[in-house]
């Protein structure tokens, strides 16, 4: 998803930006897919094999395969082959793009408006990055 810089002057998003955001939101708008994506985010950067995801979520592997394909088409998930396994990883740049798309105009010239949101997001960082 193409994004602008955060807290820029309010600007109407392009049709492409809107379509990208809608694709990502639609992919997450199902309980098993949302759970799978959140699980993969927690397991970054190592990722998880499909069987491990299915087991942890209690979802049949064939059903999970469909969900992972939808997440992959939206760009939220990447798959790589490691030996005989396919390892799935969350693409955090797409998540970042979605969050920035949603909050890009929140500042409206007053960055203090976004301060609570930014503080909550900063709390997610490891201590070495703060």
Judge whether residue 52 has pLDDT over 70: yes
Cα 117 from chain centroid (whole Å):
17
Contact by Cβ (8 Å): 105, 10: yes
Topology of domain 15-104 in CATH is Arc Repressor Mutant, subunit A (1.10.10)
Q: Burial level of 76, CB count in 10 A (0-12/13-18/19+)?
A: buried
Q: How confident is the model over 63-74, as pLDDT tens digits? A: 999 999 999 999
Q: What is the pLDDT of residues 81-113, one digit of tens each?
A: 999 999 999 999 999 999 888 887 777 767 787
Paired tokens of 17? 């930006």
Domains of the chain by residue range: 15-104
| Interior angle at CA 73, CA 126 and CA 60, nearest 5 | 85
Do 64 and 96 meet the contact criterion of CB atoms below 8 Å apart? no
């Amino acid at each position: 998803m193409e994004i602008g810089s955060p807290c820029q002057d309010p600007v109407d998003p392009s049709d492409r930006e809107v379509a990208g955001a809608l694709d990502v939101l639609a992919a997450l708008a199902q309980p098993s897919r949302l759970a799978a994506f959140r699980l993969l985010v927690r397991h970054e950067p190592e990722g998880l094999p499909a069987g491990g995801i299915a087991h942890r979520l209690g979802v049949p592997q064939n059903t999970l395969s469909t969900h992972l394909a939808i997440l992959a088409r939206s760009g939220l998930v990447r798959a790589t082959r490691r030996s005989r396994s396919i390892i799935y990883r969350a693409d955090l740049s797409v998540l970042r793009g979605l969050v920035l798309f949603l909050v890009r105009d929140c500042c409206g010239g007053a960055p203090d408006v976004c301060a609570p949101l930014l503080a909550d997001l900063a709390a997610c960082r490891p201590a070495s990055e703060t």
